Amino acid sequence: MDAKALGRRIAEARVAAGMSQAQLAAALDQADHITVSKMESGTRRVSATEMFAIAEALGKPLQWFVMDEVPAAISRRTDAGFDPDVTAHMDEAIELLADDIRSLMRKELISTVQRPESSVPSRHEDAEQVAHEARKRIGVGNEPVIDILSACEELGMYVFVGNYGESADGACVIVDGDGKSAVAATVINAEQRPGRKRVTASHELAHWLVGDAYDAHNSDSETMVKSVAIHFLIPREGAAKLWSEHPHDSPRRRAIRIAGTYRVSWTATVNQLKNIGLIDERERVSLARDLPVTSDFTAVGIPYRADLLVAPRLSPRLAAAVVRGYEDAKLTRKHALQMLRGSISDAELRPRDEAPFEVIDGDA
């Protein structure tokens, strides 16, 4: 790795840890801060032993210091503002995930997909069409997207679900391949409500689908990204069909059936019903205030479905690629477990058979 780039990483981690150069020098058993200053400026070589010690002292995984930097443009979804500590934690998580994906691509364990050619839509009709085409590509028609992580993978976005505090929702970054094809890396906060997590996953997917990895909050482009996301989760024809099948139910009960069937948060559901003309603005405001409870979903016959976005969970194909890489001796056991991020424990990862040949009874 370039010495100056490594030095910048060390300085960034030290500042984030709230340590002075003198304090880091003391942790490394150095006489004064001059050595650390030279490391950070890239004028002094950092040995492997020192790098391990620096990583431990600053509370960062060694991988974080030596990996390629991800693009600065990261899309983030949150309605609670930006908590600097939470944002830093999530940024580190997505950088590590992007680096793992890049490593798996180099080892030909996963492949890129054709990058979306569409741009950010300028009209809601165009946003709906982007969502329709995405649904068509994964073959779900107007049905609910039950396993959204598998759906995201089919469209080129790999996801890790982890715990990132109450104020975070999710983040996404594009991981470049050969320029024409790529994949996206996304982290989702497991500490949010199930319906909200699905909306977050769809929101980050929408950024990937329109080829825009940056969140411009309160901008026209962000409004269109949100439009793609909700049309992907609740398609117009599917919602209209459910609505019309129960004409004697109240608007609230019909909305509950749609929210439960498509497993989307209440606020997002009633907003979408307004978008597609099933309710008016007055009804939207009234419904938004009257949050449903579990018995409301039971009353309309919505079966209980376990929350699939629980931590730690890694996209299925991504987890499979890691396990295959370990079995094929392309990854060490330690590295594979790090990449799996707790979704498979050490005890659950079968030992690799190191024998070159299998002895079959009767061959002797």
| Span 5-20, pLDDT tens digits | 888 888 888 887 888 8
Tally: H helices and E strands in the chain: 17, 6
Cβ-based burial of 3 (10 A; exposed 0-12, middle 13-18, buried ≥19)? middle
Predicted confidence at residue 164, as pLDDT, reads 86
Distance CA 23, CA 171 (A): 33
- Global confidence as pTM: 0.81
Concatenated DSSP letters of 296-330: HHHHTTPPP---S--SSEE-HHHHHHHHHHHHTTS
Predicted confidence at residue 319, as pLDDT, reads 96
Distance CA 89, CA 165 (A): 9
Which residues of the chain fall short of a pLDDT of 70?
1, 31, 68-87, 116-118, 177-179, 212-218, 354-364
Predicted confidence at residue 337, as pLDDT, reads 94
Element holding 176 (H helix, E strand):
strand 170-176
Nearest residue to 97 (alpha-carbon basis) of 307, 322, 308, 324: 322
Nearest residue to 95 (alpha-carbon basis) of 2, 173, 204, 8: 173
Predicted confidence at residue 258, as pLDDT, reads 97
Predicted confidence at residue 161, as pLDDT, reads 96
DSSP 8-class letter at 42: T
Give start and end residues of each alpha helix (H) in 107-219: 124-138, 148-154, 194-209
Predicted confidence at residue 19, as pLDDT, reads 87
Concatenated DSSP letters of 52-90: HHHHHHHT--HHHHHSPPPPS--EEE-SS---HHHHHHH
pLDDT in tens, 8-61: 888 888 887 888 888 888 888 886 788 888 888 888 888 888 888 888 888 888
Predicted confidence at residue 73, as pLDDT, reads 42
Distance CA 87, CA 37 (A): 27
Predicted confidence at residue 359, as pLDDT, reads 43
Dihedral (C-alpha) 310, 144, 149, 152: value to the nearest 10 degrees?
A: -150
Residue owning tokens 């990058």: 115
Predicted confidence at residue 175, as pLDDT, reads 86
Residue owning tokens 């190191």: 354
